[in-house]
Amino acid sequence: MRLLLLRHAKSDWGNADLADIDRPLNGRGKTAAVAMARYLKENGLLPNRILCSTAQRARETLARQLPHMPQEAKIHVLSDLYWQSEDDYTALIRKHGLRVQTLMVIGHNPATEMTALGLIGTANSGALSNIEAKFPTAALAVIDFDIADWAELQPGTGHLERFVRPRDLKAPEE
C-alpha cells in the first residue's frame, strides 16, 4: 500500500483579520499546488482516497489536484487534520484509510513531517535527509508499506520511495 503525504501549498498571510484556518493560498502556493498535481499525474501517483484538512489552504491545495486526477477518489475532509496538526496523523490514517491501495493525506506541519519521519523505516538516496532538513509547503512524501489494511500501520515500517519538493519540479505553464 502507498501513502502520499502532501503538505498544503503556501498560504497567504496578507489579511491579519483572517483566522488561521481561513487563510487561502498565495500566488506561489497556487502555482506549486498545480505543479505538484501535474507531477502526481505524470508519475502515476493517483490516490484512491484522500484525507484533507478543513483549513482553507488545504482545501484549495486539494482543489488544484482534482483536475489532474483521471480517476475518481473518495474525499474526506477532516477537521482533525487541522486541529491535531501538532500531533502525528498515524491514528487518523489507521481510522480512515481502510483498505485503499493509495491513500493521500493533505495536512499541515509539523504533523506531516512527524508522521513521515515516524513511519519511515528505510529510504532511497538523500530523500530522508531532505525531510529531516525541512518538509516545505506543497512537498510530497511517497511511502510504501507491506500491509493489507491501513489499520495495520505501524511506526518504522514504511519505505520512503521518494520525497519531492516544488523546487524540484519545473514551473507549470499557466
* Separation CA 124–CA 104 (nearest Å): 20
Q: What pLDDT band is residue 171 in, cutting at 50, 70 and 90?
A: low
Q: Calculate the average pLDDT of the chain.
A: 94
- Distances in whole angstroms, Cα of residue 96 to Cα of each of 6, 54, 146, 160, 170: 16, 15, 18, 21, 33
**Reduced to 3 states, what is the DSSP secondary structure of residue 12?**
coil
Residue 44, pLDDT above cutoff 60:
yes
Contact in structure between 25 and 125 (CB atoms under 8 Å)? no
* Separation CA 114–CA 136 (nearest Å): 13
Cell 493560498, residue located? 25
Residue ranges making up the domain that contains 108: 2-168
Position 173 in a domain: no
Position 109 in a domain: yes
Q: What pLDDT band is residue 27 in, cutting at 50, 70 and 90?
A: very high
Position 66 in a domain: yes
Task: Specify the pLDDT at position 70.
Answer: 79
Q: Residue 39: which CATH number? A: 3.40.50.1240
Contact in structure between 150 and 98 (CB atoms under 8 Å)? yes
* Separation CA 4–CA 47 (nearest Å): 8
Q: Count of domains in the chain? A: 1
pTM: 0.95
Taking Cα atoms as reference points, which of 147, 165, 133 lies closest to residue 3?
A: 147
Q: What pLDDT band is residue 172 in, cutting at 50, 70 and 90?
A: very low
In this predicted model, what pLDDT tens digit does every residue of 113-133 receive, in sequence order? Answer: 999 999 999 997 789 999 999
Contact in structure between 11 and 32 (CB atoms under 8 Å)? no
Position 11 in a domain: yes
Position 174 in a domain: no
Taking residues 36-63, what's their average pLDDT? 97
Position 68 in a domain: yes
* Separation CA 174–CA 169 (nearest Å): 14
Quickly list H helices, 43-124. Answer: 56-65, 80-83, 90-96, 111-119
Task: Specify the pLDDT at position 71.
Answer: 81
**Reduced to 3 states, what is the DSSP secondary structure of residue 144?**
strand
All 3 cell numbers of residue 139? 512537498
Residue 174, pLDDT above cutoff 60:
no
